[in-house]
């Protein structure tokens, strides 16, 4: 909040291009040698996507502390394109070099960029994730799944109900004065204890207990038993600068572009990936059931579909769960032309998937949909099919 920021923010510093290049070479060598490389990220990695930071000269909390309004444009987190830093981390993950991301960010860009849910600890929550306290079910949304806090700042109920048990859904955002989720924090500290290289990217390291993780890593730089290297890339000084092995005053994109060049690994473009399950089965009372659902990579329900149409039946589903009852039993090799309409934050056009019912029981297919925001084109990857005689 504004009270945690100063009306006179720390000055920003920018190292020379030559200095950043030299440090990027050293970091690339350390990444190659590392057995358990992790990164710790803050708001600074998302500023190039148009999302303001908090404590910079024009940070959200700095402006509030100064009583000023923002004058420049900002980007909604739902429409923001993951940055070069985000995509570099995805590629390092996919190549097995990056083991874990510990993030203070709530903007959801890490998950959207392609960081797997098991490879990230979102310490302060995710504005696109809500969960049921009763049964623990997670839901990923393509909208801001946050509470209105009309009752109090600690009332995290979003007003929606759990599809599994009917319990109240709660947002995952951690407000000031609230404890971090113990399981997430434990995993983050566990990776901090195992790491031999941690790079802090775009964090002021002023918020506890999150900042204790890099602090503990920095204190091990001279350890004979568990040595670790701590590097910090941030434009402003941090309280842990005296603990680092390497300090870089640069924008995170500038550093990570250089690091990837030294590693000879290209940074991939951002591709929006969506998983959709299509399930068709002969039901009871001479009907057939067609259900469509978006899912995340871990099988968590993901809400990114606005409507689903069965074009051949002139049937439109306008709300989750997208389930249609079709009169009459289905014949094998029946083809359904299913039109998907998305939330459209990246101007995604509608997509028609021709889906064949194979017959003999129920079938469930998972389609991988890939959307390139630069071309506004969808590609449908080959589906995975799961067959069952009883569901």
Q: From first to last of its 391 residues, what are the pLDDT tens digits of the chain?
A: 444 556 666 789 999 999 999 999 999 999 999 999 999 999 999 999 999 865 555 645 455 655 666 566 689 999 999 999 999 999 999 999 999 999 999 999 999 999 999 999 999 999 999 999 999 999 999 999 999 887 888 899 999 999 899 999 999 999 888 999 999 999 999 999 999 999 999 999 999 999 999 999 999 998 988 999 999 999 999 999 999 999 999 999 999 999 999 999 999 999 999 999 999 887 777 888 899 999 999 888 999 999 999 999 999 999 999 999 988 777 888 889 999 999 999 999 999 999 888 776 667 899 999 999 999 999 998 666 543 322 2
> What is the model's pLDDT at position 134?
93
Q: Are 104 and 43 in contact (CB under 8 A)?
A: yes
162 is in an annotated binding site: yes
Residue 222: C-alpha distances to residues 55, 227, 247, 359 (Å): 31, 6, 16, 65
Is 316 annotated for ligand binding?
Answer: no
Q: Is 106 annotated as a binding residue?
A: no
Which domains occur in the chain, in start order?
A: 2-127+173-263 (3.40.50.1220), 272-388 (2.60.40.1970)
Classify residue 261 by burial, with Cβ atoms within 10 Å: 0-12, 13-18, 19+.
middle
C-alpha pair distances (Å), 221 with each of 36, 79, 205, 241: 15, 40, 18, 13
Residue 59 near residue 235 (C-beta atoms within 8 A): no
Residues 12 and 71 sit within 8 Å (Cβ to Cβ): no
Token digits of residue 89: 């981390």
Quote the pLDDT of residue 56.
Answer: 52
Report how far residue 279's alpha carbon sits from residue 353's, in angstroms, rounded to the nearest whole number. 13
Could you tell me the two tokens for 331? 């014949």
pLDDT at site 57? 57
What pairing do the DSSP bridges indicate for beta strands 246-248 and 229-233? parallel
How many Cβ atoms sit within 10 Å of the Cβ of residue 153? 12
SS3 166: coil
CA 263 → CA 21, 109, 115, 319, distances in Å? 12, 24, 20, 46
User: Residue 130 in contact with residue 111, Cβ under 8 Å?
Assistant: no
**Cα 369 from chain centre:** 17
Q: Which two tokens stand for residue 11?
A: 């000055």
The DSSP element (H or E) to which 380 belongs, if any, is: strand 377-388
Could you write out the DSSP letters of every residue in 136-153? Answer: --EEEESS------SS-T
Q: pTM value?
A: 0.91
Instruction: Give the pLDDT confidence score for residue 287 in this predicted structure.
Output: 86
For residues 51 and 74, the answer to whether their CB atoms sit within 8 Å is: yes
Catalytic residues: 124
Residue located via tokens 């802090």:
200
pLDDT at 77 (0 to 100): 95
Number of residues in the chain: 391
Tokens matching residue 54: 């908090």
């Amino acid at each position: 909040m504004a009270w945690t920021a100063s009306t006179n923010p720390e000055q920003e510093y920018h190292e020379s291009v030559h200095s950043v290049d030299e440090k990027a070479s050293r970091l690339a060598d350390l990444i190659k040698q590392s057995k358990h490389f992790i990164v710790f990220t803050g708001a600074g990695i998302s500023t190039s996507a148009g999302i303001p930071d908090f404590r910079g000269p024009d940070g959200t909390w700095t402006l509030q502390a100064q009583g000023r309004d923002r004058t420049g444009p900002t980007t909604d987190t739902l429409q923001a394109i993951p940055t070069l830093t985000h995509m570099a981390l995805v590629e390092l993950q996919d190549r097995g070099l990056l083991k874990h991301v510990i993030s203070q960010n709530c903007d959801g860009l890490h998950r959207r960029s392609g960081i797997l849910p098991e490879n990230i600890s979102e310490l302060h929550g995710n504005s696109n994730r809500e969960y049921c306290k009763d049964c623990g079910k997670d839901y990923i949304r393509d909208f801001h799944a946050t509470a209105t806090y009309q009752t109090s700042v600690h009332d995290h109920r979003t007003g929606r109900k759990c599809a599994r048990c009917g319990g109240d859904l709660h947002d995952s955002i951690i407000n000031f004065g609230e404890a971090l989720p113990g399981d997430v924090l434990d995993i983050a500290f566990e990776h901090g204890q195992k790491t031999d290289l941690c790079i802090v990217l775009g964090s002021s390291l002023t918020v506890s207990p999150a900042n204790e993780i890099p602090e503990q890593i920095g204190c091990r730089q001279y350890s004979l038993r568990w040595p670790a290297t701590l590097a910090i890339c941030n434009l402003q000084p941090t309280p842990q600068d005296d603990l680092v092995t390497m300090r870089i005053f640069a924008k995170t994109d500038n550093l990570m572009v250089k690091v990837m060049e030294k590693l000879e690994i290209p940074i991939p473009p951002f591709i929006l990936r969506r998983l959709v399950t299509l399930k068709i089965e002969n039901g009871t009372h001479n009907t057939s059931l067609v259900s469509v659902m978006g899912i995340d990579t871990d099988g968590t329900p993901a809400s990114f579909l606005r409507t689903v149409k069965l074009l051949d039946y002139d049937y439109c589903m306008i709300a989750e769960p997208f389930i249609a009852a079709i009169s009459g039993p289905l014949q094998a090799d029946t083809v359904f032309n299913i039109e998907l309409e998305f939330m459209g934050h990246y101007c995604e056009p509608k997509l028609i998937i021709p889906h064949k019912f194979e017959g003999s029981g129920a079938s469930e297919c998972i389609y991988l949909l890939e959307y390139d925001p630069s071309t506004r084109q969808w590609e449908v990857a080959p589906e995975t099919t799961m067959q069952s005689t009883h569901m």
